[in-house]
């Protein structure tokens, strides 16, 4: 029985010694570093390019006609083919568009310049030569 007790004591001592050395080796290999917490909830603000209004208060939009009728005109931008904008027509512009529609109207791809109010996005006037009807 003394022998079993002696082996158990030596085994417990060996277990403690290896555990102590193992902890110190592990602590030396990988120092404890607290992670830096980054606030990911803050939004990234991207400012859109806003056209500068002229002295008359109208903004110019140049492009190609996609669809035009007496109520509105849809234009694809000249610089960026992905930028498409629809403008409701004002009273004067609608009367001018009626005259153009009576003669055949704008066709897809005609060059046009639309002058619009930046607050209401209503087309006040437009310039462009309609192509002859097919």
Domains of the chain from N-terminus onward: 59-127 (2.40.50.140)
Confidence of residue 10 (pLDDT cuts 50, 70, 90): confident
**Segment 42-45 long-range contacts (CB within 8 Å, at least 24 positions apart):** none
Task: Tell how far CA 131 is from the center of its chain.
Answer: 36
Q: Are 112 and 64 in contact (CB under 8 A)?
A: yes
Query: What's the pTM value of the predicted model, to 2 decimals?
Result: 0.57
- Kindly report, residue by residue over 33-89, the tens digit of the pLDDT: 776 666 666 666 677 667 665 656 899 999 999 999 999 999 999 999 899 999 999
């Amino acid at each position: 029985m003394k022998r079993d007790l002696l082996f158990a004591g030596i085994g417990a001592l060996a277990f403690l010694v290896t555990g102590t050395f193992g902890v110190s080796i592990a602590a030396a290999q990988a120092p404890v570093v607290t992670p830096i917490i980054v606030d990911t909830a803050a939004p990234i603000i991207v400012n859109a390019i806003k056209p500068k209004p002229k002295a008359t208060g109208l903004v110019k939009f140049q492009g190609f006609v996609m669809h035009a009728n007496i109520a509105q005109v849809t234009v694809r931008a000249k610089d960026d083919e992905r930028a498409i904008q629809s403008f409701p027509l004002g009273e004067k512009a609608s009367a001018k568009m009626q005259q153009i529609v009576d003669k055949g109207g704008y066709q897809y791809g005609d060059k046009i310049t639309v002058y619009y109010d930046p607050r209401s996005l209503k087309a006040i006037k437009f310039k462009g030569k309609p192509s002859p009807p097919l």
